[in-house]
Amino acid sequence: MTSHVRDPVATDDAKLQLPQRWSAEPCPQTSGRGSLIEGYLEQVDEKRRCGSLQFGGIDPVATDTPVIVVDRLERRFGQTVALAGISFQVAAGEIVGLLGHNGAGKTTTIRLVLGLLAPHGGTVRVFGFEPMVDGERIRQRTGVVGESLGLDERLTARELLQVFADLYDVPRAVQAQRIAALLEQFGLAEVADRRVATYSAGMRQRLALARCLLHDPELLLLDEPTATLDPVAAHHVRELIAERRREGRTILLATHNLDEAERLCDRVVILERGRVLVEGHPQELAAALGVPAQLAVEVEPELIDIAIDVLTRRSLAAWAEPEPGRIIVERMTRRQVPDVVAALVGAGVPVYGVMLRTPSLEDVYLALHQRTERR
């Protein structure tokens, strides 16, 4: 019998934490930090005995059905329009990035997908269910890492994972093995019995990712998972996210980090002021928007002025990079590359290397932003 747990994400502020009505203090019969873990688990067991944890099977969804379907979704906060009719889908097994600056509507979208907010218009379906009606079913199959991690710093990593394993109703027979495997996989095995208060930001983020995988979810919702991390820690977390995709999980990633989205995502949905500007693969978007590529050309440093003059006379925008002997030619296509090389060699300028730089997601985003500003 599969349980519908009293899920730990359904709080008013969308933080992944214990339900607010549950005490986070030690049981009155005991005292001190040593009783904290027992207090949590006794409350979980009491909820089971009282029937507060409901039981029932998870309804299957056809594999060809999109995991997430958002259709003309609207949400307001007072007079402020957070979402103005956005639509997109997420297929099984892909990573889709929700991209936009702060206030674009990314976190609001995730909260609506989870059923933590009610829409004011439009619909959301997750695994074929409506979040406001079947939120428990959705959250039972979903792992969440929010901007606020909600980690109890008084617990060790092992204790914290044990608490959430019980909340997700992971069978006691497999808990120890699964927790040990996650701690090892996320590089926390050696510090598993240290209190979370002693962890760095990167270690906490890895622990939050491990926690959201305890119940083996099919869908991951990640809200700015590397926003507060240094470059090394952020790189490690991105590698862990990429591994989850290789496991076949579906991921909706909210971020304003363009490099992160380009590295991880199959598609991006770019939001601006609660509206979808464009959706697609970064290279497809670049082609559709006419965002040009750049050509990097390596020539003899002493002849760089001659090289720029040759290119300028051919009506090409070229400029020298700080690196000696390197020229950037703007607004290039692949077919133009042989002509550029031939022109330089014909003018007596040796060419030692060329590289066509395809437009980045940053180029696409800036082009879209500029078009929006001109409206």
Position 1 confidence tier, pLDDT thresholds 50, 70, 90: very low
Length of the chain equals 375
Are residues 207 and 304 both part of a single domain? no
59: pLDDT confidence band, cut at 50, 70 and 90? Answer: very low
Q: For the segment 100-141, what is each residue's pLDDT rounded down to a tens digit? A: 888 889 999 999 999 999 999 999 999 999 999 998 899 889
The answer to whether position 240 is within a domain reads no
Report if residue 48 sits inside a domain.
yes
| 371 confidence band (pLDDT: 50, 70, 90) | low
Q: CA–CA separation, 79 vs 125, rounded Å? A: 26
Q: Of 190, 216, 242, which residue sits at a domain end?
A: 216
Q: Are residues 210 and 333 in the same domain?
A: no
Between the CA of residue 31 and those of 25, 40, 72, what are the distances in Å?
9, 13, 52
Tell me how far apart the 2 most distant CA atoms of the chain are, in Å: 89
Residue 24 reports pLDDT greater than 90: no
With bands split at pLDDT 50, 70 and 90, how would you rate the model's confidence at 54?
very low
Q: Report the percentage of the chain scoring pLDDT > 90.
A: 42
Residue 152 lies in a domain: yes
Tell me the CATH number at 312: 3.30.70.120
Tell me: do 204 and 309 sit in the same domain. Answer: no
Give domain status of residue 24, yes or no. Answer: yes
Q: How confident is the model at residue 262 (pLDDT cuts 50, 70, 90)?
A: confident
Crossing angle of helices 131-140 and 106-114, rounded to 10°: 90
Structural domain contains residue 158: yes
Task: Give pLDDT tens digits for 78-99.
Answer: 999 999 999 999 999 999 999 8
51 and 179 inside one domain:
yes
Domain final residue, candidates 175, 193, 216: 216
Q: Are residues 30 and 171 in the same domain?
A: yes
Do 51 and 188 share a domain, yes or no? yes
Residue 197 and residue 300 share a domain: no
Residue 244 lies in a domain: no
Signed CA dihedral, 103, 106, 111, 112: sign only? positive
CA distance linking residue 42 with residue 47, whole number of Å: 9
Both 187 and 301 in one domain: the answer is no
Verify that 169 and 313 share a domain, yes or no: no
**60 has pLDDT over 60:** no
Residue 212 sits in the same domain as residue 334: no
Question: Domain total for the chain?
Answer: 2
CA 177 to centroid of chain Cα atoms: 27
Q: 274: alpha, beta or left, given left = phi > 0 and alpha = psi -120 to 50?
A: left
pTM tops 0.85: no
Q: Are residues 201 and 296 in the same domain?
A: no
pLDDT at 372: 63
CB 220 within 8 A of CB 250: yes
User: Which residue, 371, 362, 374, 375, is CA-closest to 99?
Assistant: 362
Q: How many CB atoms neighbour CB 181 within 10 A?
A: 14
- Look at residue 195 and tell me if it is in a domain: yes
| Residue 308 domain boundaries | 292-358
Q: Write the burial class of residue 96 (CB in 10 Å: 0-12 exposed, 13-18 middle, 19+ buried).
A: buried
Q: Are residues 186 and 329 in the same domain?
A: no
What token pair was written down for 74?
A: 């609207």
Domain assignment of residue 312, yes or no = yes
